[in-house]
Structure 1
């Protein structure tokens, strides 16, 4: 999809490009270029977040009254595209794109006043405590108990696949406060300080060699009931609202840049001369056009004050499966060099020598990390069930 940009939009694009040229350091560009998943380690994302916060550009999707930019949807798309083209590191989504919108919608005035400014500045770095051993796609089966005791809840249980828990000073959690009725009816949404006694974080290393994931254990952890978001036992409603923002987004800009880079790598390696490979490249480009259209529908709904609704499920399916197809094309472009494990050499600002062309460093780790994309945030099979039920009435 090609947007017809107005004179104001063209001027805004030049402003963004000038800002990125001036403030996006070589170190941050390299960190962004060597990202192998949607997450990047805290030192890089926070460094870039502080620069954007100083500029007032850290939360383009937030309302102006809470620190947003007031940009049009076209301007937001331009900004996302230019950041992707410049290899800017991604900001951690758990705070700005997940718990932030939830607090704006369900938080108390005190919660908004305390947490939203800290989200913008990066003073609070959040992780998400949803999945448990045995409760992943069937999230309503979660068992981590929160028992009222005076003004507190006492938590016991564990969470798993918790991205960046080893960096975070805050976690938002779904906990079990009742076993009566349907499983969804006994869940509560809590905000928790990771320094609270009784919390233990243990690493989970991925196939790519990265440490993004963790298991988090709660042993008699006391959390003030004032940290509850929404009503007790109504956390499922809050969680569904958050997942609409986790599944939706502006993914096409990054996917388009990623596909363009793979195309150039394939051309350099001579792979693009293969008609079968070139056909799959064209199919990926067509898929991206469909994703852009879906994003525009979602962004239009958000602009009108509506929730993304089932469109976020559709976009989650489209974007994650497109990303995996692009990764597969990247693996073929890397050839045999893609199978060489070079975890230390591919770290940002590493001075270690590496085998093969530079683009081969991240091809296989990116492929491994993004295999999980069709599972996290609600598996794509679950998303298809939601679409069948809500949209098609099946």
Structure 2
């Protein structure tokens, strides 16, 4: 997929770029540039701005409320969103549960949930990890006991991203105990304002509130909130995780970060009259990461081509997850090193009197560095991904 070579795609790219430049909420872009966290209201406004255009659920087919874009158009949209510095679309609704609902859900469930996901008016969270079942998801203990036409939910979900912004949560629950741990798991949806549900903040190492612990004490939901068949939740979760791990690539965002680092390093001194970009070790590492982003993009396009041809991301998505994680961490490490040099300059301005750049990159750069440390854990640790590749891709 050579996107630059197809002139028919350029008007579409221009339309998307113009939207972010002229119609997207400017205050959201300013807050993102400063590295500040968005409020729930701001998250809603950002996503509903895309929803009003019919662009929020960018990968959905038209029959389910999406724009019906080609793989190439979806890729260009993601590039331009990241190029503009807009917040990444909260994936729990449009990337994760939405496709599960329109693939495995009933007509009533599609009519009930898909419109609010597609227009950005309803937020979702993902209830997978538990205190004793993180990467070993098959060991989950969160229970759902059927009582008449209801399920009674009990247990704890942890490291729940964006729960503070969500209205609903989709859960992997244990409805029976089988010899094989993956069996007996059921996929159930629950409103977060249901009696018996509590959401407790977990402040992460970057000082922000990304994550929550969600406790459920005898929470009742109707059986009609179950997606698909009882006991088939594991297979639905594997379908979802393929989409999740593919979504980590974020090529456009990584290219923007690298361009920012190169611009910063071209102004920040490395000592004496030398700029940081003139430091051979720093320049070499920056170039190596740029090459790795090119390789990641090619791998993403190969995986997306298989989806277009009727396949699914499948286990190959684990390769993308590892590559994207390691590259993201290296990029933010370079940001941190640039920020450290700038911090030294502030204590001794005589070292670099010619520096006139903006120091605003330092705080968001440090926060991003801490934030990306978690990437090798969430969505399935990199160690788990290597096991998947060894067993299911290489057949070892």
Asked whether 1:300 is paired with 2:299, we answer no
Deviation, 1:2, is 6.7
Q: Number of residue pairs matched?
A: 377
CA contact (8 A) 1:128 1:173 kept: yes
- Per-residue CA deviations over 1:93-134 (Å, capped at 9, x if unaligned) read 100100011111111111111110010122220001100001
**3-state SS in 1 of match to 2:58:** coil
CA contact (8 A) 1:198 1:221 kept: yes
- Per-residue CA deviations over 1:225-280 (Å, capped at 9, x if unaligned) read 11111211111111111111110125111111111111211222121111011111
Asked whether 1:389 is paired with 2:371, we answer no
**3-state SS in 2 of match to 1:215:** strand
Q: 1:256 matched to which residue of 2?
A: 255
Q: State the TM-score, normalized to the length of structure 1.
A: 0.91
Deviation, 1:156, is 1.2
CA RMSD of aligned residues (A): 1.9
Tell me which of 102, 106, 109 is aligned to 1:108: 106
Change (3 A) 1:90 1:2: same
Change (3 A) 1:192 1:338: farther
CA contact (8 A) 2:79 2:253 kept: yes
Change (3 A) 1:35 1:45: farther
- Per-residue CA deviations over 1:345-381 (Å, capped at 9, x if unaligned) read xxxxxxxxxxx70000111111111101011000111
Q: 1:363 matched to which residue of 2?
A: 365
**Alpha-carbon distance in structure 1 between the residues aligned to 2:79 and 2:309:** 23
Change (3 A) 1:338 1:73: farther
CA contact (8 A) 2:202 2:213 kept: yes
- Between stretches 366-375 and 73-82, larger displacement belongs to 73-82
- Per-residue CA deviations over 1:45-89 (Å, capped at 9, x if unaligned) read 321221112112222211011122222222222222222121112
Change (3 A) 1:10 1:227: same
Asked whether 1:380 is paired with 2:378, we answer no
Q: 1:204 matched to which residue of 2?
A: 202
**3-state SS in 2 of match to 1:219:** strand
Change (3 A) 1:283 1:327: same
Tell me which of 123, 137, 140 is aligned to 1:139: 137
Greater length-normalized contact order (CA 8 Å, ≥ 6 residues apart): 1
**Alpha-carbon distance in structure 1 between the residues aligned to 2:35 and 2:243:** 22
**3-state SS in 2 of match to 1:385:** helix
Asked whether 1:43 is paired with 2:41, we answer yes
**Alpha-carbon distance in structure 2 between the residues aligned to 1:40 and 1:143:** 33
Structure 1 residues without counterparts, runs of 5 or longer: 340-355
Asked whether 1:27 is paired with 2:27, we answer yes
Change (3 A) 1:62 1:303: same
Q: 1:329 matched to which residue of 2?
A: 334
Change (3 A) 1:30 1:113: same
**Alpha-carbon distance in structure 1 between the residues aligned to 2:226 and 2:148:** 14
CA contact (8 A) 2:66 2:118 kept: no
Q: State the TM-score, normalized to the length of structure 2.
A: 0.91
Structure 2 residues without counterparts, runs of 5 or longer: 269-274, 345-357
Tell me which of 163, 166, 171 is aligned to 1:165: 163
**Alpha-carbon distance in structure 1 between the residues aligned to 2:343 and 2:367:** 9
Tell me which of 162, 180, 183 is aligned to 2:181: 183
**Alpha-carbon distance in structure 1 between the residues aligned to 2:31 and 2:93:** 20
Change (3 A) 1:285 1:392: same
Change (3 A) 1:45 1:197: same
**3-state SS in 2 of match to 1:175:** strand
Deviation, 1:6, is 2.6
**Alpha-carbon distance in structure 1 between the residues aligned to 2:231 and 2:258:** 44
**Alpha-carbon distance in structure 1 between the residues aligned to 2:176 and 2:105:** 21
For residues 25-104 of structure 1, the aligned pairs below 5 Å read 25-35=25-35, 41-104=39-102
Deviation, 1:43, is 2.8
**Alpha-carbon distance in structure 1 between the residues aligned to 2:321 and 2:38:** 20
Q: 2:11 matched to which residue of 1?
A: 11
Change (3 A) 1:70 1:5: farther
CA contact (8 A) 1:77 1:253 kept: no
CA contact (8 A) 1:189 1:228 kept: yes
